[in-house]
Amino acid sequence: MEKLNWLTANQAAQGIREGLFSSEDLVQSCIDQIRAREPDVLAWAFFDAEHALTQARRADEWRAAGNPLGLLHGVPVGIKDIIDTGDMPTEDGTPLHSGRNPWHDAKVVDLLRTAGAVIMGKTVTTELAALAPGKTRNPHNPEHTPGGSSSGSAAAVAAGMVPLALGTQTNGSLIRPAAYCGVFGFKPSRGLISRQGILRQSDRLDQPGGFARCIGDLALLGEVLSAYDPDEPGMSPRSNVPMLRVCNEESPMPPKLALIKTPWWPQLEADTQEGFGELVEHLSKHVGEFVLPDSAAAVLDWHKIVMEADMAANYQTEFERGADKLSNSLREQIERGRNVKAVDYLQALARIPVVTEALDEIFDRYDAILTPAVAGAAPHGLESTGNPMFCTLWTFCGMPTLSLPLLQAGTGLPVGVQLVGRVGDDARLLRTARWLVDVIK
């Protein structure tokens, strides 16, 4: 009972359904872990133990009454503090939004509650989900960054505080912290999950996702969150994808992976290059190398133009009313965005379908792309959240990506490996990832 906090979400949900333990038991175990690790990790922006226990007791009463149970009944989940919660503050990592209490849950939070989840609290984000770090530290070594902007969510899962947590990505904000903290991170296809009630940084680039300690939990989370939302303009009507079932199926044939080093390969740290080489050698029967043209490097510029122009528009109120309360890095991003020419912005947007279509041809021959998630282990120091360059291309195209904790740096810190799928083929990507993890083990 003392180690319930280390159960996977699937194990926890099953244990509660079968009466092996209660949601209150599970939540109390997570609370104990938070109290033990939070002074060092600092993963939470808002946490109320009694409120979490109240939710858990209600979940237990619901089960005891013989009511039907959702997929996450009684399972605690952390929520990045840019995602609205009607019963908790959402302050977006900035003093400008201090004391902000939304009237309603974001759509993803509503879906979690409908599935029976316990909303454990709000996890730390960087300032307005941008570059300036929050207070969170890496659970493996508090002198190193946990990454950003979904820093608190990744750290909370890695530290055993919750089995699941939500994050978002506009550049590398899910994959990078997952890679640095040694957990599984999932950025679904653009349009798979509703963004209603989530801080808007860039309408064309923002993508919600989550963290877990195994692939199956990411499939479970994705299945719960991917319900169609008619109020989300980025979504199309469709039925829910049975991600967990597909993820657990055996592939008709062993998957084939396209190794793409990307133009930024020379910037990988030496031990990461070595580890990646050993991984590819181990998978040699299943891997073929695909070389991107040098022109792919221009994606960094296109992404920057779109992201910063959108930030200037979406954060106009914060900039005009409280620029002195913003970090230097965020002010600079907004100022650059305000100077973007309309023609440059539209031309950059026009590159998204062109690049995505070009990359789509890879999946006629391969099941997924294998590529670095980060340049190396989490950098020392807390002044930066690391470089997202290895995530930018895939985020720009809205492709589903996963970070898998398969490598380790010479310092002992974890290093994630990135797996990328075809847009809309998230369930197949999760199945390929499960196969890959099983092969490596």
Q: Provide mean pLDDT across the span 328-339.
A: 98
For 353-384, what is each residue's pLDDT tens digit?
Answer: 999 999 999 999 999 999 999 999 999 999 99
The Cβ-side half-sphere exposure at 154, using a 13 Å CA radius, reads 41
> Is 285 a known active-site residue?
no
Of 22, 23, 29, 80, the active-site residue reads 80
Rg (CA), the chain: 20
Other beta carbons within 10 angstroms of residue 335's beta carbon come to 13
**What's the predicted TM-score (pTM) here?**
0.97
Calculate mean pLDDT across residues 303-328. 98
List the catalytic residue out of 23, 29, 149, 153.
149
| CB distance 81 to 92 below 8 Å | yes
What is the arithmetic mean of pLDDT over 268-287? 96
- What stretches of 109-250 adopt beta strand conformation (E)? 118-123, 164-169, 184-187, 207-212
Which CATH architecture is the domain 4-247 placed in?
Answer: Alpha-Beta Complex (3.90)
Query: CA of 140: how far to CAs of 27, 131, 156, 215, 293, in Å?
Result: 23, 21, 12, 21, 37
pLDDT band at 2 (very low <50, low <70, confident <90, very high): low
How large is the average pLDDT for residues 128-132?
Answer: 97
What is the pLDDT at residue 270?
96
Asked if the model's pLDDT at residue 441 lies above 90, the reply is no
Q: What is the pLDDT of residues 40-89, one digit of tens each?
A: 999 999 999 999 999 999 999 999 999 999 999 999 999 999 999 999 99
pLDDT (tens digit, 9 = 90+) per residue, 416-425?
A: 999 999 999 9
DSSP 22-41: -HHHHHHHHHHHHHHHHHHH
Mean pLDDT of 252-274: 95
Is 239 or 121 the better-scoring residue by pLDDT? 121
Tell me whether residue 202 is one of the annotated catalytic residues: no
Q: Where are the domains of the chain?
A: 4-247
CA distance 286 to 284: 5
pLDDT at 171 over 80: yes
Q: Among 104-113, 240-249, 288-297, which stretch is predicted with the lowest mean pLDDT?
A: 288-297
Is 80 exceeded by the pLDDT of residue 1?
Answer: no
Q: Taking residues 282-290, what's their average pLDDT?
A: 95
What integer pLDDT is reported at residue 249 of this predicted model? 96
Contact 168, 190 (CB under 8 A): no
Q: Which two tokens stand for residue 64?
A: 């005891």
Structure tokens at 214: 């195994």
**Which of the following is catalytic: 22, 29, 151, 173?**
173
329 given a catalytic annotation: no
Show the tokens assigned to 398. Answer: 């809205």
Mean pLDDT check: name the lowest of 227-241, 351-365, 371-385, 426-440: 227-241
- pLDDT class of 293 with cuts at 50, 70, 90: confident
